[in-house]
């Protein structure tokens, strides 16, 4: 597989295992798709599927997802802790290997248009695919949820990018867009004082003057008596893990606090770890093609 694009759709069903399995089976059987993971949260009543493919695979996988999800999820009756605006709530499309973010933006527009045509569901483009700045953030698009959607759509600022200008009766709307891979990366400090983690989080995050592609907050790990800087790395190519790690190390040292460990939550692209090895080992002219497993993926 020379081109690897990841798609991580969130669907508004996490309690009915038969329904989730039917949706997963539909995606799994789509041509050119590899379904890597399905995680369901019953109290959120939400499931996250992870699948990969090239452009054709992503198109086929999303179509198969909608085919199976729409008859099984009725938002007029669905309840859960997690906010949602659609039966298929959000469809992020993420370049991993052999595809650029710009190519995934173009793909997301094709996928959005196809959803509107084939399923009659209104589509909002978000993140790097957003057609206007106020529609870039998922939370802003989702505000008001399914129940408030019909009223919201009357505002010209919330006209959908594709499809009907009213909600689908049972499926609401869907938010589709391209974004860079996100890495959930937490750094654990050798202190129980969460205020130190808070101050460090504020210093490294974009909103506070820190790194452009970092979101962070301080968290207390009470069972381990540690404080944690909990980080979302929203573009590891432009803001790499090692740079954030070294900045946290330096800030923590100012309080006399060491870093005792870090965690990657969920999946990471291999390139994020190769970049850290390349940095610390000072490797010259490194190419992912020097990695045996990369060759294996490319030889497929």
The DSSP code for 172 is: B
Smallest separation (angstroms) from its own copies to the CB of 146: 31
Which residue, 150 or 277, is less far from its own copies as judged by CB?
277
∠ CA 285-290-291, rounded to 5°: 130
Alpha carbons within 13 A on the beta-carbon side of 243: 16
Which residue, 35 or 111, is less far from its own copies as judged by CB?
35
Which residue, 22 or 297, is less far from its own copies as judged by CB?
297
Smallest separation (angstroms) from its own copies to the CB of 87: 27
Smallest separation (angstroms) from its own copies to the CB of 264: 6
Among the listed residues 278, 288, 264, the one whose alpha carbon sits nearest the alpha carbon of residue 96:
288
Which residue, 176 or 233, is less far from its own copies as judged by CB?
233
Alpha carbons within 13 A on the beta-carbon side of 11: 31
The DSSP code for 94 is: E
Smallest separation (angstroms) from its own copies to the CB of 99: 14
∠ CA 214-219-224, rounded to 5°: 130
Name 231's Cβ contacts closer than 8 Å, sequence gap at least 6. 184, 185, 186, 187, 201, 204, 214, 215, 216, 244
Active site residue 242: no
Q: How far apart are CA 199 and CA 274, in angstroms?
A: 29
The dihedral of CA 84, 86, 88, 94: what is its sign? negative
Smallest separation (angstroms) from its own copies to the CB of 78: 30
Smallest separation (angstroms) from its own copies to the CB of 266: 7
List 44, 82, 206, 279, catalytic entry = 82
Q: How many CB atoms lie within 10 A of CB 295?
A: 11
Q: How far apart are CA 136 and CA 108, in angstroms?
A: 14
Which residue, 78 or 262, is less far from its own copies as judged by CB?
262
Q: Which residues bind its own copies (CB under 8 A)?
A: 1, 4, 6, 34, 36-37, 52, 96-97, 188, 241-242, 245, 259-264, 266-270, 273-274, 276-286, 290-297, 299-300
| Long-range Cβ pairs for the range 152-156 (8 Å, 24+) | 153/122
Q: Which residue numbers are catalytic?
A: 82
């Amino acid at each position: 597989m020379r081109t690897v694009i990841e798609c991580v759709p969130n669907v508004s069903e996490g309690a009915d295992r038969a329904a989730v399995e039917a949706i997963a089976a539909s995606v799994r059987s789509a041509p050119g798709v590899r379904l890597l993971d399905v995680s369901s949260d019953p109290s959120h009543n939400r499931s996250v599927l992870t699948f990969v493919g090239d452009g054709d695979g992503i198109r086929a996988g999303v179509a198969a997802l909608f085919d199976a999800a729409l008859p099984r999820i009725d938002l007029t009756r669905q309840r859960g802790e997690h906010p949602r605006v659609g039966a298929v709530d959000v469809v992020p499309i993420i370049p991993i290997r052999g595809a650029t973010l710009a190519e995934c933006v173009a793909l997301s527009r094709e996928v959005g248009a196809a959803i509107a045509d084939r399923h009659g569901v209104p589509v909002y483009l978000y993140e790097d695919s957003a057609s206007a700045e106020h529609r870039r953030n998922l939370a802003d698009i989702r505000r008001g949820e399914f129940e408030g959607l019909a009223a919201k759509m009357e505002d010209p600022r919330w006209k959908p990018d594709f499809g009907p200008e009213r909600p689908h009766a049972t499926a609401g709307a869907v938010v589709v867009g391209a974004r860079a891979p996100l890495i959930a990366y937490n750094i654990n400090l050798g202190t129980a004082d969460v205020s130190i983690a808070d101050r460090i989080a504020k210093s490294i995050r974009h909103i506070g003057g820190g790194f452009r592609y970092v979101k962070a907050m301080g968290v207390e790990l009470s069972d381990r008596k540690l404080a944690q800087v909990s980080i979302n790395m929203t573009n590891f190519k432009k803001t790499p893990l090692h740079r954030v790690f070294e900045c946290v190390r330096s800030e923590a040292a100012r309080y006399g606090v060491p870093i005792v460990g870090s965690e990657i939550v969920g999946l990471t692209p291999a390139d994020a770890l190769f970049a850290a090895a390349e940095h610390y080992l000072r490797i010259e002219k490194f190419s992912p093609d020097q990695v045996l497993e990369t060759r294996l993926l490319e030889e497929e």
